[in-house]
Amino acid sequence: MSLKDKVVSETMKLAAHPAVAPILQDERFMKLLLAALSMPGKITELSEEQRLNLIRVLGLATAEEVANLKRTVRSLEDELAEIRAQRDS
């Protein structure tokens, strides 16, 4: 289920609640919600350089950085296993 589908589903559940209904009827709130839902599509339209700049500004990790981190962790786990094996023998 996509983020948009999840938000729409949860919004429909909340819309039935009497305390929440007036908020969902507020035009400003609905504009904000629609803007938030359109963000993934807008980010996809950005150029690669703009995406990388946005990722840096938001402090997010890139897929390449995550892959490098996984390789480093795997390497360190292997090294630790070797050290433990040497210690136990």
3-state secondary structure of 1: coil
- pLDDT band at residue 10 under the 50/70/90 scheme: confident
pLDDT digits (tens, 9 = 90+) for 27-77: 898 898 888 888 877 777 777 788 788 888 988 888 889 999 999 999 999
Which structure tokens are listed for 71?
Answer: 């390789």
Is 50 contained in some domain?
no
Q: Please tell me which residue, 7 or 88, carries the higher pLDDT value.
A: 88
- The Cα 57–Cα 40 span in angstroms is 16
| Amino acid symbol at 88 | D
Residue 10 belongs to what domain range? 1-45
Q: Answer whether residue 3 shows pLDDT above 90.
A: no
What's the rounded Cα separation, in Å, for the pair 7 and 5? 6
Number of domains in the chain: 1
Rounded-to-integer distance, Cα 62 and Cα 67, Å: 9
25-28 own/partner pairs: CB under 8 Å, 24+ apart: none
Residue 83 lies in a domain: no
Whether 10 maps to a domain, the answer reads yes
pLDDT at res. 29: 86
